[in-house]
Structure 1
Amino acid sequence: MIFKVLYQNSIKRTPRRETTESMYVEADTEVEARSKVESIKDYNIEYVEPLEGNHLEYEKKSPDFKITEIK
């Protein structure tokens, strides 16, 4: 399943819409997606959103859609 992870670049940064970034991650569960992102860097994760059906198709049309490979 594909998840859209909304985050701040720094764990110390308070969430603000203007500085929120996103990445797309493939994982089995929301918990796994969150732990994969946290393994890269100490991001301040705001929200993990599962994408499926029409919502996933809509996101795929975005030029920013790229699944981040995390091992």
Structure 2
Amino acid sequence: MIYKVLYQESSYEVPVRERTKSLYIEAGSKKAVRRNLSDRNYNIEFIQELNESHLDYEKQDENFTTENV
């Protein structure tokens, strides 16, 4: 399953919408995603499981890449 993670780069800053970034991770569960990102000191706002149609939409972005857990 592929998950979209919305995050701020620093857990010490107040979340600001304009600085929210996203990344895509292939993992077995949301828990595995959080475990994999725990060493990066991100302020994770939201983890969304992508269905097939949403994933197809996201793949249209030229910067789309996924990480594997």
TM-score, with structure 2 as normaliser:
0.90
Tell me which stretches of 4 or more aligned residues in structure 1 moved more than 4 Å: none
CA RMSD of aligned residues (A): 1.2
* Structure 2, unaligned runs of 5 or more: none
Q: Deviations over 1:23-62 (max 9, x none)?
A: 11010111111211223x1110000011121001101111
Aligned length: 69
Length-normalised TM-score, structure 1: 0.88
User: Structure 1: 5+ residue runs without aligned partners?
Assistant: none
Identical columns (%): 41
The equivalent of 1:9 in structure 2 is 9
